[in-house]
Structure 1
Amino acid sequence: MVQHRGRPFRWAIFGTGSVARKFTLDLRCLGGAAEARIVASRTSENARRFAAGLGVAEVAPDYAAAARAEVDAIYIATPPALHEAHAMLGIAAGKAVLIEKPIAADAPAARRIAAAAEEAGVFCMEAMWTRFQPLPEAVRRVIDAGKLGELRGFEARFMGANKPDLDSSLFDPERGGGALLHRGIYPLSLARYLLGEIRTTQATSRIGGTGVDEDTALIVQHASGAISTLRSSLRAAGPDGAVIYGTDATLYLDGPIWRPTGARLVPTVPAGAATTGPRRFEAFRESRRGLQLSGLLSRLRRLSGRGQTRISAPFDGNGYHYEAQAVMQAVSEGHIQDIRMPLSESIEILQIIDEARAPKAAGV
C-alpha cells in the first residue's frame, strides 16, 4: 500500500482494551504504510503499558491531547457510552474518526456524530470490520450476480457464555452493555449489508440482574420481503455460521459471524424430488431402515461437497487492517464516508436496536 503523503498514515488509539490491541497489531499488515503514533486511556498506567507492549511512540495525558496530536485519524475503542464524546473530540480537531461498533450508545447520539462530521467535512465511519473483510464482499458479489435467485431469508447469531460482572462493559448499562449492542449488532449489520433495507422488526429479550439484555432474538423483514432471524446472547454459547436462503440456492457461511472463514453455495433441490420414484419402493423409503439410509446418503453428499461451490477469500493478519485501509484510502482521496458502511446505515441499525430495547425501559 502506498504511504500517505510520502509517510506512514498516523493513528491515535483511544482505549487500551483487547479490541484496541487487535486493531493496533493488525496495522502491521499494511507494510509500513500506517503506524499507531499515540495512545490515550482512562489511566496513564494503561496507556504506558499498551504503548510499551505494542511499540506506540507516544502516550497522551488524556483523550483531548491525543485528538490534538499530529495524527491523520483516530480509532475509538472505548466503551459505547463514551463514543459520542470521544468522536466529537476528534471531529472538533479536524481528524478522521473510526468508531468501534456500536458507533454510539443510541441512535440520537449517532445522528449528532454524523451531523458534526458532515459540518466539519471530516471522515467518519463505524468500525464494522466484518463488512471490509474479503469473504463478505465475495458473498455480496455472489448475491448481486443472482446466483441465489430471489432472496428469502438470512439466519445468524453471535452468542457467548459470560458470567454477569458489572466490572465488564458487557453487563454495565452505564457503559452501553447488553447482548444487542455488543453482539447482536454484528448479525444485524450483516443482514442489512447482504439483504438490504430493513422495514419491520420484532424483538424479544431477556433482561439480566444488571439491567442489560442478556439474550435477544430479532425477526426483521427487509424491503424485498426477505426475513432475517438473528440471535445474540451474553449468557449462552451458540453455533458459529450463518445461512442465506434463496429460491435457487442456499449459501452457508462458515466460522464466526464477525469473521467468517469460508462459504458454500448449495443449489436448491426442488421440494419432493428426493421422495419421487416407483411406488413399490415407497414402503422401504418410509421405513426406519430406509430413512436411516436416506440420512446417511445426505451426510455423504454434504461431506463430499457434490454440487456445492466453495467460496474462499483468505486474508493476512486478524482482519482489522481492512477497515483501517478503507479509512486511509478515503482520507487520501478526500472522501468523508465509505459506501460500504455509510453513516445512514449505522444510524438505521442503532434505531432498530433502540426500538428493540424499548420494552426494557417500559418494564416489560
Structure 2
Amino acid sequence: MDRTVRWGIIATGGIAATFTADLQELPGAEVVAVASRALAPAKEFAGRFGIPRAYGSWDELAADEDVDVVYVATPHSAHRAAAGLCLEAGRGVLCEKAFTLNAREAGELVGLARSRGSFLMEAMWMYCNPLVRRLVELVRDGAIGEIRTVQADFGLEGPFDAGHRLRDPAQGGGALLDLGVYPVSFAQLLLGEPDRVAAHALLSPEGVDLNTGMLLGWDSGASALLSCSVTADTPRTAAVTGTAGRIEFPPGFFYPERFVLHRAGREPEEFTLGQAGSGLHGMQYEAAEVMRALRAGETESPLVPLDGTLAVMRTLDAVRDRIGVRYPVDLS
C-alpha cells in the first residue's frame, strides 16, 4: 500500500511546474518522465526538476511502461487528445480542468477509461483540499441547516490581447472554462447538478466570454449566484448560507487556508488548514488522492468522481448555450 507511484508529466508550463514541485515533496511519488510537443522544452523542464527522461512527443511518454499515471497539464483544448492517448496506452490519468472543451469530449474520456479499467480523475484540486472536505462534512452534518444560497466568484483584471489563448474559441477561450469552472464546481460539490441554468455575458469580438454571471437553481429551492471574468479582478470569495447559519471563505476560496462558520447565538468559529509556511502550493492533496486510489486498485476517486465531472461539464455547456458561445469542436 506504500509502493512508489511513478508519474509522467505532459506539458511544461506554469501549472505543470507548480504541480511537479509539490509532487516531488510527497513521500512515495517519483516523477520519471516529462513530454512536450518539442524536445527542447521537455529537456529544460527535466533538467530543472531532475526528471530522468524527456520526450519530444506525447506518444513516447504514453508508451513508457515505467509510468503509472500521467498528469495532463496542457491547455484544455488538448485534454481530450492527450488524456485519450494515455488511457489508450494503459496509463492512469490526472487531467487538468476544465476537463475538456465540452460534455461530449468529457463523456468520451470517461467512457474510454471505464471500458479499459483505467484510472481517470479531473485535477479539481479544490475538492481535495482538507478545508473544503471539512466544509462538506459540516454541511452534511447539518451545521448550517438546509442550503439556500451559494455565492462564488473568480475574476482576473486582464486585459488579454486578441492573440492570447483566452481570446481564441478554438482553444476554449473565455472566462468560463478557465475560471468559471471553480465557482460552478464549488456549487455543485454541495448541491449537485442544477435543475435550471440562467446566464448573461459580455463577449469578445472573437466570440468568447469576457465577463459572465450565472444563476443556477435547484428544485429544493436553493440557488447559486456565480461569476467569472477576465476583465475584472473580483474578490474570489465564496459563501454558503443555510437555514441555520452560513460559512464564508476569504479570497482564494478554491485553495483555502481558512473559513468561518457563523451560527445564530454562537461566536463565529474559524477553521484553518494549520500548515502555513509549508512551502507547498496546495496541489499535493490531489496528487496524494491519486496515489491512494492507485494503491487501492481504484479507477475513480470518491473525492472527485467522474459523474460529478460530467455534471459540471453539462452545466458549463448549458451556460455557453445561454450566452451564445460556441467552439469549433462543438460542431464536429
TM-score range, shorter chain: over 0.9
2:98 aligned partner, one-letter code: P
| Kept in 1: contact 2:102–2:314 (CA 8 A) | yes
Tell me the CA shift for residue 42 of structure 1.
2.2
User: Do the aligned partners of residues 15 and 89 (structure 1) sit closer, same or farther apart at CA in structure 2, a change above 3 Å counting?
Assistant: same
Partner of 2:61: 66
Contact 2:193/2:315 (8 A) holds in 1: no
* One of 137, 140, 149 as aligned partner of 2:136: 140
Q: 1:253 is aligned with what amino acid? A: F
How does 1:16-31 map onto structure 2 within 5 Å? Answer: 16-31=12-27
**Unpaired stretches in structure 1, ≥5 consecutive residues:** 270-305
| Unmatched tracts of structure 2, length 5 or more | 327-332
Counterpart of 1:243 in structure 2 is 239
Contact 2:37 2:56 in 1 (8 A): no
Secondary structure, aligned partner of 1:29: coil
Matched letter for residue 184 of structure 1: G
Q: Percentage identity across aligned positions? A: 33
> What aligned pairs does 1:1-364 form with structure 2 within 5 A after superposition?
3-4=2-3, 8-31=4-27, 33-69=28-64, 70-268=66-264, 307-315=267-275, 316=278, 317-358=280-321, 359-361=323-325
Deviation at 1:168, TM superposition (A): 3.2
Give the distance between the partners of 1:153 and 1:43, measured in 2 at CA: 47
Q: CA separation of 1:39/1:324 partners in 2, compared to 1, >3 Å: closer, same or farther? A: same
Deviations along 1:229-251, one digit per CA (max 9) or x if unpaired, are 10000111111321111111111
CA distance in 2, matches of 1:261, 1:117: 33
Structure 2 counterpart of 1:321, one-letter code: Q
Change (3 A) 1:73 1:229: same
Shift >3 Å, 4+ stretches: none
Contact 1:74 1:95 in 2 (8 A): yes
Kindly indicate whether the alpha-carbon contact (under 8 Å) linking 2:149 and 2:222 is maintained by their aligned counterparts in 1. Answer: yes
Please state how far the C-alpha of 1:44 moved relative to its aligned partner: 1.7
Counterparts of 1:227 and 1:160, CA distance in 2: 24
TM-score (norm 1): 0.85
Q: Which amino acid aligns with 2:195?
A: R
Q: Which has the larger radius of gyration?
A: 1
Q: CA deviation at 1:163?
A: 1.9
The structural deviation recorded for 1:48 is: 1.4
The one-letter amino acid paired with 1:29 is E
| Distance in 2, Cα, partners of 1:182 & 1:255 | 17
Q: Report the more deviating stretch, 74-83 or 195-204.
A: 195-204
Hey, what's the Cα distance between the residues in 1 that align with 2:229 and 2:209? 8
Question: Using a 3 Å threshold, how does the CA distance of structure 1 residues 314 and 224 change in structure 2: closer, same or farther?
Answer: farther
- 1:66-104, Cα deviation, whole Å (9 max, x unpaired): 011120000001011111111111111111100000111
SS in 2 for 1:339: coil
Which has the higher mean CA deviation after the structures are superposed, 16-25 or 54-63?
Answer: 54-63
Distance in 1, matches of 2:162 and 2:171, equals 10
180-189 vs 253-262, greater mean Cα deviation: 253-262
2-structure distance, mates of 1:354, 1:225: 23
Instruction: Please provide the CA RMSD for this pair.
Output: 1.6
- Letter of the aligned partner of 2:104 in structure 1? P
Instruction: In structure 1, give the amino acid aligned to 2:182.
Output: Y
Instruction: Name the TM-score, length of structure 2 as normaliser.
Output: 0.93
